Amino acid sequence: MITLGIETSCDETAAAVMCGAAIRASTVSSSVHRHEQFGGIIPEIASRYHLSFIVGVTKTALEQAGTTLSQIDLIAVTQRPGLLGSLLVGVSFAKALSYALRKPLIAVNHIKAHLFSPFLACRRMPFPFIGLVVSGGHTSLALVRDFDRIRFLGKTRDDAAGESFDKVAKMLGLPYPGGPVIDRLAQTVASSPFNFHCAPLKDSFDFSFSGIKTQVLYTLQALPNISAPVQTEISYAFQKAVVDSLVEKSIGACRRYKVRRLAVGGGVACNSALRRRLQERCAGEKINLHLPPAAYCVDNAAMIAFLGYHLFRRGKRADLYLNALPTGESGND
Ligand code: KG4
Ligand code: ZN
């Protein structure tokens, strides 16, 4: 069975081809360079980019997989959550293909797809696991018992983890997207005179990354200028606080639900300090840790095809009334 995955929820136009449960091709074209000068994603630019690139990206994925449109058996598309105009391009494209090819269509929740991104090469899924999704738009913790049995335990109450990286980088005068830049700077020092922390939100698996942004802002306002050492030391201290919050909540969820498996996905899962700290803590707690390679941390269509295929096998279907939904992080679909 051949599944075509389509992803256009934010600034990546992506297509992937899966044969059975194995990924054959995954193609991504990002419009991030078109947003750089604005310091964040401009929805209208993102959706116009999807319109221009969706056909080419899909053709490339099919070519790389050595398959043709007529051989496709199933079309999986990101329905929610994301930027409405961006989602609409992918959903309309997938519906048109489904109608023209007379092939079934399946709707995929983007956040849930991220939960499975560390397992794209797995033949058998090791359920249950605790999943952490950390990206530019979302930060969520979930207990995953099966492809269609996902219970969200907590999410951010304000900014997403990646969003806080991007906003702090902007305050420091660093380029967009800020996550990789802060990561790189922080690696050049072993400590920092600055000390920040995220709101602990005790007895909850929710996160908060807004307060730490304000702590950085007030710290910068008290300084005469933002020198290169200050950029580095603040990057280090900020990143440490965010990583501590993400890691301790995730370990806490594993303990609470007695699950010895943790999977992490989303763009922030590329962060070197987060990966290192997770490895240390999980080794100490005897928790199996699953981290995707960088290409599958960030937005991609392989994870959409993967979850779509497994949901299809469990009897889920979508029809041509399918519509894009901007919200729905923890919705049941
Ligand atoms: O998953 P993703 O590609 O797109 C969304 O769905 O949002 O994540 C993008 C986010 C951006 O906020 C970016 O700054 C962050 O992931 N990011 C990182 C790193 N690489 C990307 N954050 C921290 N450290 C990194 N190395
Ligand atoms: Zn994402």
Name residues contacting ligand 1 (CB within 6 A). Answer: 10, 135-137, 162-163, 165-166, 177-180, 183, 266-268, 270-271, 298-299
> Residues in the chain with pLDDT < 50?
331-333
Q: Which of 301, 292, 265 is nearest to 122 (CA)?
A: 292
**AA letter at 319:** D
Residue of 268, 276, 277 with the most ligand 1 atoms within 8 Å of its CB, for mutation: 268
| pLDDT of res. 332 | 44
Residues 6+ apart with CB under 8 A from 115: 131, 133, 142, 144, 150, 263, 265
Residues 6+ apart with CB under 8 A from 168: 178, 182, 212, 213, 216, 234, 235, 238
CA of 266 to the centre of ligand 2 (A): 6
| pLDDT of res. 330 | 53
Alpha carbon distances (Å) from 242 to 127, 251, 271, 285: 27, 14, 11, 20
How far is 92 from 79, CA to CA, in rounded Å? 10
Contact 64, 24 (CB under 8 A): yes
CA of 253 to the centre of ligand 2 (A): 22
Alpha carbon distances (Å) from 160 to 122, 135, 167, 226, 291: 28, 7, 10, 25, 19
| pLDDT of res. 21 | 86
CA of 215 to the centre of ligand 1 (A): 21
Q: Count CB-CB contacts under 10 A for residue 14.
A: 30
Residues 6+ apart with CB under 8 A from 39: 166, 170, 176
Match 């997770």 to its residue by tokens: 278
Q: Of all helices (H) and strands (E), which one includes residue 87?
A: helix 84-101
**pTM confidence score:** 0.95
Q: What is the pLDDT of residues 210-254, one digit of tens each?
A: 999 999 999 999 999 999 999 999 999 999 999 999 999 999 999
Q: What is the pLDDT of residues 134-150, one digit of tens each?
A: 999 999 999 999 999 99
Structure tokens at 282: 């999980």
Q: Count CB-CB contacts under 10 A for residue 125.
A: 15
Which atom of ligand 1 is found nearest the CA of 162? Answer: 12
